[in-house]
């Protein structure tokens, strides 16, 4: 848990909007160095505007996509469907317990759709990285049963990271001889997730959802919005995670 907290604190400090606030504060503190001060303030303000536009958010997310929507032909070649948890809401008053956030629900809904099309067994994976009572995997299992009338054949409920999702899911799947899976997550998450599962000797069929657009549909896509900043932050977080995994792999290989 401590490592997870430290990692996420570091990520927050390196990502917008916090990194832009830090640069803005530094720029204000350096008011005696007018040129440097104005450069930092201008950079922070320009970056905040740009990253907050839905168009740039879409461009950044599109840069992470590694495939198009999964085809029926590709799905027929899979042995199972794996659904990655995308987060929870803790102790929600209306439910009286932990529940899934919107990202997890979107992934679960798409997995249920693919299950109906293919009849493939489902694996749900996700632990309790930020505490709480119920693991993502267990909540997904419950929602599948009560709201979709489906059962998850495998439930992984200890993963704290995408790397854990892959490692722990592979253990469950190997027991039943499963080697080729359709991996359900957001399209912007697949670039980071797929290599982690492939490293566990699994064959992966990317089954992404919510593919981004790089074309402004209207003038409003060039104006800053909270949703635009969210999309940009998600994308930059993924690129940061990809870099971190590559560095960790290099350090591990160097240690051996």
Residue 254 has pLDDT above 70, yes or no: no
Within-domain flag for 221:
no
Q: What is the pLDDT of residue 212?
A: 97
> Residue 7: pLDDT above 90?
no
Total domains, the chain: 2
Residue 41 lies in a domain: yes
E strands of the chain, at which residues? 80-84, 88-92, 97-100, 122-125, 154-156, 180-186, 203-209
Residue 90 and residue 13 share a domain: no
Q: Does residue 219 form part of some domain?
A: no
Is the same domain home to 130 and 165?
A: yes
Does residue 204 contact residue 181 with C-beta atoms inside 8 Å? yes
- 61-77 pLDDT per residue, tens: 999 999 999 999 999 99
Q: Is residue 222 part of a domain?
A: no
Residue 255, pLDDT score: 59
Q: Are residues 81 and 196 in the same domain?
A: yes
Quick one: 83 and 55 in the same domain? no
Q: Are residues 87 and 184 in the same domain?
A: yes
Instruction: Give the range of the structural domain holding residue 91, as residue numbers without chain letter.
Output: 72-209
User: Does the residue 218 lie in any domain?
Assistant: no
Sole residue written with tokens 């982690």: 196
165 and 235 share a domain? no
Residue 256, pLDDT > 60, answer: no
One domain for residues 154 and 179: yes
Predicted pLDDT at 211: 98
pLDDT (tens digit, 9 = 90+) per residue, 196-239?
Answer: 999 999 999 999 999 999 999 899 999 999 999 999 999 999 99
Q: What is the pLDDT of residue 240?
A: 96
State whether 189 and 251 are in the same domain. no
- Model confidence at 60: pLDDT above 70: yes
Contacts of 148 (CB under 8 A, 6+ apart): 112
- List the CATH number of the domain containing 147: 3.40.50.620
Q: Which residues contact 217 (CB under 8 A, 6 or more apart)?
A: none
pLDDT of residue 253: 67
Of the candidates 116, 29, 12, 60, the one whose C-alpha atom is nearest the C-alpha of residue 239 is 60
User: Same domain for 90 and 173?
Assistant: yes
Q: Is residue 215 part of a domain?
A: no
Give yes or no: residues 198 and 233 share one domain.
Answer: no
For residue 192, is it within any domain?
A: yes
- Is 96 within a domain? yes
Q: For residues 89 and 194, state if they share a domain.
A: yes
| 115 in the same domain as 44 | no
């Amino acid at each position: 848990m401590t490592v997870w907290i430290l990692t996420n604190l570091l990520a927050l400090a390196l990502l917008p909007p916090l990194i832009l606030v830090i640069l803005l504060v530094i720029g204000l503190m350096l008011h005696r160095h007018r040129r440097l001060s104005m450069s930092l303030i201008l950079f922070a303000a320009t970056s905040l505007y740009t990253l907050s536009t839905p168009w740039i958010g879409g461009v950044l997310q599109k840069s992470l996509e590694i495939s198009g929507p999964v085809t029926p032909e590709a799905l027929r070649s899979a042995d199972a469907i794996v659904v990655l948890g995308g987060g929870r809401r803790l102790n929600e008053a209306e439910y009286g317990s932990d529940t899934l956030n919107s990202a997890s629900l979107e992934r679960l809904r798409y997995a249920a759709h693919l299950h109906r099309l293919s009849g493939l067994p489902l694996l749900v994976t996700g632990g309790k990285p930020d505490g709480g009572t119920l693991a993502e995997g267990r909540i997904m299992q419950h929602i599948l049963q009560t709201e979709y009338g489906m059962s998850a054949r495998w439930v992984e409920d200890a993963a704290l990271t995408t790397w854990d999702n892959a490692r722990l899911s592979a253990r469950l799947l190997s027991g039943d001889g499963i080697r080729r899976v359709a991996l359900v997550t957001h399209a912007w998450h697949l670039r980071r997730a797929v290599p982690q599962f492939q490293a566990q000797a699994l064959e992966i069929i990317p089954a992404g959802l919510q593919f981004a657009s790089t074309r402004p549909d209207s003038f409003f896509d060039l104006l800053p919005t909270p949703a635009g900043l969210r999309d940009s932050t998600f994308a930059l977080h993924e690129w940061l995670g990809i870099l971190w995994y590559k560095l960790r792999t290099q350090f591990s290989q160097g240690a051996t």
